[in-house]
Structure 1
Amino acid sequence: MSKAPIAIIGTGIAGLSAARALHEAGQAVQLFDKSRRCGGRMSGKHVDTEVFDLGAQYFTARDRRFAETVRCWQNEGWTAEWSPNLFQARAGQLSPSTDEQLRWVGTPQMASITRALLGELPVTFSCRITEAFRGEELWTLVDGAGASHGPFSQVIVATPAPQASALLAEAPKLAAVAASVAMEPTWAVALGFATPLDTNVEGCFVQDDALDWLARERSKPGRDGHLDTWVLHATHQWSRQHLDLSKEAVTEQLLGAFAELIDCVVPAPEFTLAHRWLYARPTQAHEWGALADAGLGLYACGDWCLSGRVEGAWLSGQEAARRLLEHL
């Protein structure tokens, strides 16, 4: 085992995938995250007693290794298949979708998976790491308050590419690769209705100016909220054009688009919540797997290293851990 632990910055799927692989290989790890809880874009949001997925809505498993892992998660009760009444909308017209892709969700929320993966691993939350520098042999991290953390034998950066670039400064080539990745934003809005909407729609891919996706939370396994909660995602293009719009204005516009599209009366919601995912997904897929400078002991992983999906994030974390272990 390494004398000093391995630092992992970010507790989304990629960081937790790497952490679990290293822990199972007998390595000590220490995780950091700027948020108050783990999960990244898989973290859940709360309004009173309502819990819903405002980020990642579901995931698929195409790679054999990930599919096997998802089945293990299913056996543990962390995830379940989701087979919604799926629709598509084009030019304002709803029609049933022919998409038969198997979809998975965390139970009772997407964050259940990341919380289970974190388990008892040591983690420091509400800690934004702003710098990683290497001494003669070991690494030190510095947070936004100027406090130092370490020493660490290796560092894995598992944050969105624009944030990763600054943390990879000790390896200019890796930093440049991360800086080259363009990521798209997404505005997300949750709506909670006291009376269930009179519609068969449970999920819908929308080809519209503003809306890209909508989902009915109660259609997902394990969701038992008192309200009929819906989550709307805006298109990347609309989100980019309205990046600095107020949350109230975003909610008003997306609620209006939803009311025009859905095939029923939409009353005033009991609650609304808007959230801007600044780095929702990369504009294109890559085939890096993970970035590595084994000589320095610096690595980077994330969905942006592969497909931009949950599966890509998990596979990238596995690849970062594999490369690290190869050079111990």
Structure 2
Amino acid sequence: MNAPIAIIGTGIAGLSAAQTLHAAGQEIQLFDKSRGSGGRMASKRSDIGNLDLGAQYFTARDRRFVEVVQQWQARGWAAEWTPSLYNSHDGQLGASPDEQVRWVGTPRMSAITRALLGALPVQFACRITEVFRGKQHWNLQDADGQSHGPFSHVIVATPAPQASALLAAAPKLAGAAASVIMEPTWAVALAFATPLDTPVEGCFVQDSPLDWLARERSKPGRDNPHDVWVLHASNSWSKQHLDLPKEAVIEQLYGAFAELIGCAVPSPSFTLAHRWLYARPAQAHQWGALADADLGLYACGDWCLSGRVEGAWLSGQDAARRLLEHLA
């Protein structure tokens, strides 16, 4: 009996690979350090419901991803989001000419990864710290010192800085992952009991601590009675204020938001801050996925391609394809 394939990480890249391998009849076992799937597409539970604090939307340009997103839409996992979109430049608000099609998970972003995970075997709250090779098979060790295995192949689908440590058995792959610089992002949610008097539903921001803001209720399937806004700080601001206490982050980003939005902004009835340490790669790469087929070790993630949700999905496909080709 062949040993199963281990996949570390249940973000969109890991689940993309898992689905393809499962469909090809391979036995897989997923691991994730979080309590649920999704990675940066995860939705955060809060006192006022689920909040999309990570990926705000995604676009589909590659034909393969377009087809998959259409399937997600047909199954009710995703819907098109058509916000009233603005740009803010030097404190001036103007309508955005951007007409790309944007997609979101419904009724929340994590609906997609939850559906992709389905009934696949997964171990949550299990942080893998080491991937090591025995005579014929791979074994994994977690942060509690527990060993998992044996596995025939391992796919590492975590952000690059975490991946480089797990790829130590293949120095070339580890070096490639270590060369990727990931940028941080502070995310803040603000809820208001009375809706703000503004037509803005999404806004790209320049010359501000903020980079992006979105009105949650403008997204399909969201039924929160509060007027919830999600703010993303710019990478440079986030980097400079990486260790700022959450209260101070909320205060500063609330101030920037109130200044920019062009209407009266009362005190929020609810606030929450979350720090994404590895929000996106600083630059795009064209690796598809990293592979040492002879060893049976692979890595995938948005950092192998574009830094977008689409890039993560395509990278997972690439890792699975290479692994299946090697098995053939």
Whether these two folds match at TM > 0.5 is yes
Q: Place the TM-score, normalised by the shorter chain, in its bin.
A: over 0.9
CA shift at 1:50, angstroms?
2.0
Compute the displacement of 1:209 (Å): 2.9
Contact persistence 1:79–1:104 (CA under 8 A) = yes
Deviation of residue 208 (structure 1)?
2.1
> 1:204 Cα deviation (Å)?
0.1
Partner of 1:256: 255
Matches of 1:49 and 1:181, distance apart in 2: 36
**Residue in structure 2 matched with residue 278 of structure 1 by the alignment:** 277
C-alpha separation in 1, matches of 2:17 and 2:111: 18
Question: SS where residue 288 of structure 2 aligns?
Answer: coil
Partner of 2:227: 228
* TM-superposed deviation, 1:75: 0.3
User: Could you tell me how far 1:236 is from its partner in structure 2?
Assistant: 0.3
Q: Secondary structure at the match of 1:31?
A: strand
Listed as ranges, the matches of 1:75-86 within 5 Å are 75-86=74-85
Asked if 2 retains the 8 angstrom alpha-carbon contact of 1:131 and 1:141, the reply is yes
| Equivalent residues in 2 for 1:140-219, closer than 5 Å | 140-219=139-218
Q: Which residue of 1 aligns with 2:72?
A: 73
Quote the Cα distance in structure 2 between the aligned partners of 1:185 and 1:320: 25
Residue of structure 1 equivalent to 2:268: 269
SS at match of 1:320: helix
In structure 2, the residue corresponding to 1:231 is in which secondary structure? Answer: strand
Letter in 2 for 1:190: A
Identity over aligned pairs, percent: 76
2-structure distance, mates of 1:69, 1:94: 35
Q: Deviations over 1:154-177 (max 9, x none)?
A: 000000000000000000000000
Distance 1:29 1:146 in 2: 22
8 Å CA contact retained: 1:50, 1:227: no
Q: Which residue identity lines up with residue 285 of structure 2 in the other structure? A: H
SS of alignment partner, residue 220 of structure 2: coil
Alpha-carbon distance in structure 2 between the residues aligned to 1:310 and 1:61: 9
What residue number does 1:121 align with? 120
CA contact (8 A) 1:303 1:313 kept: yes
- Separation (CA, whole Å) in 2 of partners of 1:84 and 1:118: 29
Aligned to 1:47: 46
Runs of 4+ deviating beyond 2 Å: none
- Cα deviations by residue, 1:68-89 (Å, 9 ceiling, x for unpaired): 0000000000000000000000
Aligned to 1:164, the other structure's residue is in SS state helix
- Residue equivalent to 1:14: 13
> Hey, what's the Cα distance between the residues in 2 that align with 1:159 and 1:171?
16
SS of residue in 1 equivalent to 2:87? strand
Distance (whole Å) between structure 1 residues aligned to residue 48 and residue 265 of structure 2: 22
- C-alpha separation between the residues in 2 aligned to 1:45 and 1:202? 20
Consecutive unaligned residues in structure 2, runs of 5 or more: none
TM-score (norm 2): 0.99
How far has the Cα of 1:252 moved from its partner?
Answer: 0.3
The residue correspondences of 1:238-253 to structure 2 (distance < 5 A) are 238-253=237-252
Is the 8 Å Cα contact of residues 87 and 204 (structure 1) preserved in structure 2? yes
Kept after mapping to 1: 8 A contact 2:217/2:223: yes
**Residue 327 of structure 1: SS of its match in structure 2?**
helix
Query: What are the superposed Cα offsets for residues 240-266 of structure 1, whole Å, 9 maximum, x if unpaired?
Result: 000110101000000000000001111
Q: Which amino acid aligns with 1:34?
A: K
Opposite residue 57 of structure 1, the aligned amino acid is Q
* CA offset digits 1:132-174 (Å, max 9, x no partner): 0011110100000100001101000000000000000000000
State the one-letter code of the partner of 1:169. A
User: Residue 315 of structure 2 aligns to which amino acid in structure 1?
Assistant: S
Partner of residue 106, structure 1: 105
2:205 alignment partner AA = V
Contact 1:54–1:189 (8 Å) recurs in 2 = yes
Task: Give, in angstroms, the shift of residue 324 of structure 1.
Answer: 0.3
The amino acid that maps onto 1:250 is: V
Unaligned stretches of 5+ residues in structure 1: none
CA-CA distance at 1:49 after TM superposition: 3.8
Question: In the alignment, is residue 297 of structure 1 matched against residue 296 of structure 2?
Answer: yes
The aligned counterpart of 1:319 is 318
Question: 1:311, CA displacement in angstroms?
Answer: 0.1
Is contact 1:50-1:226 (8 Å) kept? Answer: no
Supply the AA of the counterpart residue of 2:264: V
Kept after mapping to 1: 8 A contact 2:36/2:124: yes
Equivalent residue pairs, number: 327
Q: Which whole-Å CA distance do the structure 2 matches of 1:45 and 1:271 have between them?
A: 14
- The 3-state SS of whatever aligns with 1:200 is coil
Question: Structure 1 residue 51: deviation in Å?
Answer: 1.5
2:129 is aligned to 130
